[in-house]
């Protein structure tokens, strides 16, 4: 906007010099301009030269437009229908813009004239098109871009409104095209670009509907009925369960400002986007001009987006989730931001002390060195009872992380089912439950680096729960006794 | 009448009474009334009795055709009737590439070429209504559209890649005795684009007849028939001179014409 006003001033100056009837006319026009400022001026904004748009696959974002002028921007996008991995062992045929889910990120600025060519690969089976929410025009370009396999279509549009916009395929059956991954983001930056930040990433949530249940292996076809019922098997960031975890995690250094372009392709679910352990300093609500500050969770509608910014102050792994939390832990809507750098104890201390809270007592008491945790009133008399009590303890204490079938959560919490780490050493297992564990371990060939806190359980309970775990899900069938636990405790 | 006689003569001349399209490979389809997903005028359409090819036209069949009809050879084909991809998996004017199986359905053919092929045999392309009428049958029922398995089966075929490389006659035959309507390739129809384009520009403005976004649902009769949505969408994206890797055809014949 700033550049514009300068231009207007320049124009005025020149006109005063040239004088005459023209002057009156132009002045009259610029008055009019001021009244309906934005739309008229953006539409009339001249473009200088041609430029090929840089397209990136998630989580990467093209370079900022910076101070460049509005240009004719050439965007070439290819549609590919191809098989990919939704999660370990589960295959899915994705339909993609540019070979990735979400599709390639397009970065433009206000006033650009985008010449968009959509090519439908000859191997594809279906016709497709694109509806860009950044387009002002019927169907958002859908009509002009409807293209059969082996063909391409070109259309052009001017970016009138700044903001972060979703694009998607709008060919019948629309829901199915979106459900198979045909969505992405297009950013229209204001003149001069968005303020500089240190890191920018591209994240987009989507829900998937497969014939088999979550985790069922093999090539899974799209399930139309589940999609109609809005009963998603997978809710993921960037097209697959592991797209943003482990080695694929996004990274930053302490002190850097991170900007996330977050979209939601749907087709059905809205996202309660949250980063565990961070507060968004700024959120461009719904991808528009309104900036909200100090936000914990921002709602991203299906077919909508938001720009979130925050400075990372302390190191650690920050988990990105859809805070409709079962989606995060059971359906895959989980990503990771790994922050490296110096700790800052003023901001976050880590654990300082542990105590026992007695509501009636005179204050917080320190944990006694001897085991004073109350023993369960009814000790288990048999193996069956041990299993029964052990299961109860498991469901209360362990289930949240290690999951119902002991399968754990990939890249976050190691499995207990068929676990080589567990079966290798009983004393170590007891020690982990009694004293906690942190740091890197390898379980069934996968590396895990997280923290299990010390569990406040009686020796009896520890014996029961470990017996339950050892006698479930294909483990070695060991029986752990109270005495074995005590021995470890007193070491 | 005069033009009819003339065109008949022309066809006879061009095709020299070719008889390689065996009529015994056709089955009788008894006509009836039914409601398609999209219709042009009223919702119920009537289909007369006709005969339909059991199988899609194969590569082998088409090689025979171009041998006899030089004007449909790759190098001779008129640009108005074909595009650059016409027979693009052929190594020369007369033969397909060695990697292409002779019993695979012919693809990379334009609507004009498909139409000419059928006319050569005194047949024609099926209308959308005729094609959909036969295609709504499964192995046991003439109208299987209400069965969830029918839809799922077709959808999974549509999602399977490279089915155009399979050979004809391997999918289960439907209750009429017709094979491969689903599971191999899309097929040209005589009036493939009639659902979307009414042909009258004023009407096109009034009625949002596009198959995009919300409009796709407005005129549809069965919102769960995703497979049919996909077929209508592919037809709508085509132009008569287009050729595609996944698009073949088969012919039909009017029963009356034959008895005349």
> Does A169 lie at the interface with B, CB-CB under 8 angstroms?
no
For A54-181, where are the alpha helices, taking DSSP H only? 142-145, 174-179
CB contact under 8 A, B212 and A222: no
**Spatial distance between the Cα atoms of A488 and B12, rounded to a whole number of angstroms:** 98
pLDDT confidence tier of residue A355, bands split at 50, 70 and 90: low
CB contact under 8 A, A221 and B230: no
Ordered DSSP codes for A113-125: EEEEEEEE-TT--
Contacts of A172 in chain B (CB under 8 A): 211-212, 216-217, 229-230, 232-233
Same domain? For A144 and A264 the reply is no
CATH number at residue A429: 1.10.760.10
pLDDT at B259 over 50: no
Same domain? For A469 and A428 the reply is yes
For A348-491, where are the alpha helices, taking DSSP H only? 383-393, 399-402, 420-424, 426-435, 459-470, 482-489
**Spatial distance between the Cα atoms of B113 and B244, rounded to a whole number of angstroms:** 13
For A106-192, where are the alpha helices, taking DSSP H only? 142-145, 174-179
Is residue A372 included in any domain, yes or no?
no
Same domain? For A187 and A210 the reply is no
Q: How many CB atoms lie within 10 A of CB A41?
A: 19
Closest residue in chain B to residue A220, using alpha carbons only: B156
Tell me, what's the pLDDT at B258? 46
Same domain? For A212 and A109 the reply is no
CB contact under 8 A, A122 and B210: no
**Spatial distance between the Cα atoms of A333 and A241, rounded to a whole number of angstroms:** 7
Is residue A119 included in any domain, yes or no?
yes
Tell me, what's the pLDDT at A183? 97
Q: A426, exposed or middle or buried, with CB in 10 Å at 0-12, 13-18, 19+?
A: middle
Same domain? For A261 and A289 the reply is yes
Is residue A15 included in any domain, yes or no?
no
**Distance (Å) from the C-alpha of residue A169 to the closest C-alpha of chain B?**
9
Tell me, what's the pLDDT at A395? 80
pLDDT tens for A409-428 read 887 889 999 999 999 998 99
How many CA atoms lie within 13 Å of A136's alpha carbon, on the beta-carbon side?
13
CATH number at residue A209: 2.60.40.420
| A81, A127, A143 ranked by CB distance to B233: nearest | A127
**Spatial distance between the Cα atoms of B108 and B102, rounded to a whole number of angstroms:** 14
Q: How many CB atoms lie within 10 A of CB B146?
A: 12
Same domain? For A205 and A333 the reply is yes
What's the sign of the alpha-carbon dihedral B227, B230, B236, B237? negative
Backbone angles phi, psi at B7, to 5 degrees: -65, -35
**Spatial distance between the Cα atoms of A294 and A292, rounded to a whole number of angstroms:** 7
Count of structural domains, chain A: 3
| B85, B211, B238 ranked by CB distance to A172: nearest | B211
> Does A142 lie at the interface with B, CB-CB under 8 angstroms?
yes
8 A C-beta contact, residue A167 and residue A132:
yes
Task: Provide the mean pLDDT of chain A.
Answer: 86
| B159, B212, B244 ranked by CB distance to A149: nearest | B244
**Spatial distance between the Cα atoms of A482 and A462, rounded to a whole number of angstroms:** 8
Q: Which of A133, A162, A196 marks a domain boundary? A: A196
pLDDT confidence tier of residue A386, bands split at 50, 70 and 90: confident
CB contact under 8 A, B232 and A172: yes
> Does A129 lie at the interface with B, CB-CB under 8 angstroms?
yes
Same domain? For A412 and A472 the reply is yes
Cross-strand pairs, A81: A95
8 A C-beta contact, residue B160 and residue B154:
no
The token duo for A240 is 């697959």
Percent of chain B with pLDDT over 70: 75
8 A C-beta contact, residue B188 and residue B247:
yes
Is residue A356 included in any domain, yes or no?
no
**Spatial distance between the Cα atoms of B251 and B260, rounded to a whole number of angstroms:** 19
Count of structural domains, chain B: 1
Residue-number span of the structural domain to which B78 is assigned: 2-259
Contacts of A176 in chain B (CB under 8 A): 226, 230
Q: Which of A281, A314, A340 marks a domain boundary? A: A340
**Spatial distance between the Cα atoms of A436 and A455, rounded to a whole number of angstroms:** 7
Which DSSP symbol is given to A454? P
Contacts of A170 in chain B (CB under 8 A): 212-213
Query: Checking DSSP bridges between strand A218-219 and strand A90-97, what pairing results, if any?
Result: parallel
| B159, B229, B242 ranked by CB distance to A173: nearest | B229
**Spatial distance between the Cα atoms of B189 and B115, rounded to a whole number of angstroms:** 9
Closest residue in chain B to residue A177, using alpha carbons only: B230
pLDDT at A359 over 70: no
Tell me, what's the pLDDT at A118? 95
Which residue of B38, B208, B213 to mutate against A (max A Cβ within 10 Å)? B213
Same domain? For A152 and A185 the reply is yes
pLDDT confidence tier of residue B210, bands split at 50, 70 and 90: low
**Distance (Å) from the C-alpha of residue B22 to the closest C-alpha of chain A?**
30
pLDDT at B257 over 60: no
Which residues 327-346 of chain A have a CB within 8 Å of chain B? none
Same domain? For A155 and A288 the reply is no
Contacts of A126 in chain B (CB under 8 A): 158, 230, 233-234
Is residue A175 included in any domain, yes or no?
yes
Contacts of A228 in chain B (CB under 8 A): 224
Is residue A272 included in any domain, yes or no?
yes
CB contact under 8 A, A126 and B152: no
Contacts of A225 in chain B (CB under 8 A): 148
CB contact under 8 A, B246 and A125: yes
Residue-number span of the structural domain to which A86 is assigned: 50-196
> Does A125 lie at the interface with B, CB-CB under 8 angstroms?
yes
pLDDT at A151 over 60: yes
CATH number at residue B216: 3.90.1580
Closest residue in chain A to residue B148, using alpha carbons only: A225
- The whole-model pTM stands at 0.71
pLDDT confidence tier of residue A312, bands split at 50, 70 and 90: very high
Tell me, what's the pLDDT at B113? 95
Same domain? For A78 and A104 the reply is yes
pLDDT tens for B101-120 read 999 999 999 999 999 999 99
pLDDT tens for B126-136 read 999 999 999 99
Closest residue in chain B to residue A228, using alpha carbons only: B224
Closest residue in chain B to residue A122, using alpha carbons only: B245
8 A C-beta contact, residue B154 and residue B75:
no
Same domain? For A176 and A112 the reply is yes
Same domain? For A175 and A278 the reply is no
Contacts of A146 in chain B (CB under 8 A): 212, 236-237
| A81, A148, A174 ranked by CB distance to B238: nearest | A148
CB contact under 8 A, A174 and B212: yes
Backbone angles phi, psi at A242, to 5 degrees: -105, 20
pLDDT confidence tier of residue A436, bands split at 50, 70 and 90: confident
Tell me, what's the pLDDT at A271? 96
8 A C-beta contact, residue A225 and residue A285:
no
pLDDT tens for B50-85 read 999 999 999 999 999 999 999 999 999 999 999 999
H-run or E-run covering A13: helix A2-18
CB contact under 8 A, B244 and A148: yes
Which residues 91-110 of chain A have a CB within 8 Å of chain B? 93
Give ipTM to 2 decimals: 0.77
């Amino acid at each position: 906007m700033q550049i514009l006003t300068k231009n207007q001033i320049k124009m005025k100056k020149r006109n005063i010099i040239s004088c005459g009837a023209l002057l009156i006319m132009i002045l009259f026009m610029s008055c009019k301009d001021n009244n309906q400022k934005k739309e008229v001026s953006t539409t009339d904004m001249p473009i200088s030269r041609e430029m090929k748009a840089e397209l990136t696959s998630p989580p990467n974002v093209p370079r900022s437009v910076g101070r460049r002028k509005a240009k004719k921007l050439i965007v070439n996008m290819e549609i590919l229908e191809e098989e990919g991995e939704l999660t370990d062992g589960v295959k899915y045929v994705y339909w993609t813009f540019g070979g990735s889910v979400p599709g390639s990120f397009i970065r433009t600025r206000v006033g650009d004239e985008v010449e968009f060519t959509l090519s439908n690969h000859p191997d594809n089976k279906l016709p497709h098109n694109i509806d860009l929410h950044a387009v002002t025009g019927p169907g958002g370009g859908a009509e002009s871009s409807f293209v059969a396999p082996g063909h391409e279509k070109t259309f052009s549009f001017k970016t009138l409104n700044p903001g972060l916009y979703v694009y998607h395929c709008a060919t019948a059956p629309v829901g199915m095209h979106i459900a198979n991954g045909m969505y992405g983001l297009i950013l229209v930056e204001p003149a001069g670009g968005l303020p500089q930040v240190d890191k920018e990433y591209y994240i987009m949530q989507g829900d998937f509907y497969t014939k088999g249940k979550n985790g069922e292996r093999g090539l899974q076809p799209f399930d139309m009925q589940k999609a109609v019922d809005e009963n998603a098997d997978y809710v993921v960031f960037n097209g697959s369960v592991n797209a943003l975890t482990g080695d694929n995690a996004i990274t930053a250094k302490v002190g850097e400002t991170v900007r996330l372009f977050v979209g939601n392709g749907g087709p059905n679910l809205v996202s309660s986007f949250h980063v565990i352990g961070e507060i968004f300093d700024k959120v461009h609500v719904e991808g528009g001009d309104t900036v909200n500050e100090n936000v914990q969770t921002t709602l991203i509608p299906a077919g909508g987006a938001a720009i979130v910014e925050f400075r990372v102050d302390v190191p650690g792994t920050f988990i990105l989730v859809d805070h409709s939390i079962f989606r995060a832990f059971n359906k895959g809507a989980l990503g990771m931001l790994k922050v490296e750098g110096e700790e800052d104890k003023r901001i976050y201390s880590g654990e300082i002390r542990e105590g026992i809270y007695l509501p009636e007592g005179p204050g917080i008491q320190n944990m006694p060195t001897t085991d004073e945790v109350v023993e369960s009133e009814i000790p288990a008399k048999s193996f069956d009872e041990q299993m029964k009590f052990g299961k109860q303890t498991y469901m209360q204490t362990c289930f949240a992380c290690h999951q119902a079938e002991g399968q754990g959560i990939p890249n976050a919490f190691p499995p207990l089912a068929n676990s080589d780490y567990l079966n290798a050493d009983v004393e170590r297992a007891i020690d982990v439950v009694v004293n906690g564990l942190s740091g890197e371990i390898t379980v069934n060939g996968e590396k895990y680096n997280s923290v299990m806190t010390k569990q406040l359980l009686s020796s009896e309970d520890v014996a029961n729960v470990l017996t339950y775990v050892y006698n479930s899900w294909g483990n070695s069938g060991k029986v752990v006794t109270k005495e074995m636990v005590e021995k470890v405790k007193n070491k | 009448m005069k033009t009819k006689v003339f065109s008949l003569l022309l066809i006879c001349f061009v095709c020299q009474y070719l008889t390689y399209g065996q009529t015994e490979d056709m089955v009788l389809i008894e006509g009836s009334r039914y409601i398609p997903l999209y219709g042009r005028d009223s919702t119920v359409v009537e289909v007369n009795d006709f005969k339909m090819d059991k199988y899609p036209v194969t590569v082998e069949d088409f090689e025979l055709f171009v041998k006899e009809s030089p004007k449909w050879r790759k190098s001779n084909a008129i640009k108005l009737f074909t595009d650059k991809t016409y027979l693009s998996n052929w190594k020369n004017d007369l033969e397909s590439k060695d990697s292409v199986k002779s019993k695979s359905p012919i693809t990379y053919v334009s609507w004009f070429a498909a139409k000419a092929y059928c006319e050569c045999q005194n047949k024609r392309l099926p209308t959308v209504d005729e094609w959909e009428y036969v295609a709504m049958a499964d192995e046991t029922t003439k109208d299987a559209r209400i069965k969830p398995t029918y839809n799922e089966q077709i959808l999974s075929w549509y999602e399977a890649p490279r089915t155009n490389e399979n050979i004809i006659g391997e999918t289960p035959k439907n209750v009429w005795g017709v094979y491969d309507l689903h599971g191999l390739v899309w097929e040209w129809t005589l009036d493939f684009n009639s659902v979307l384009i009414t042909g009258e520009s004023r009407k096109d403005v009034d009625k949002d007849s596009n198959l995009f976004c919300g409009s796709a649902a407005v005129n549809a009769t069965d919102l769960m028939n995703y497979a049919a949505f996909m077929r209508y969408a592919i037809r709508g994206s085509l132009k008569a001179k287009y050729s595609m890797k996944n698009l073949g055809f088969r012919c039909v014949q009017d029963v009356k014409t034959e008895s005349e």
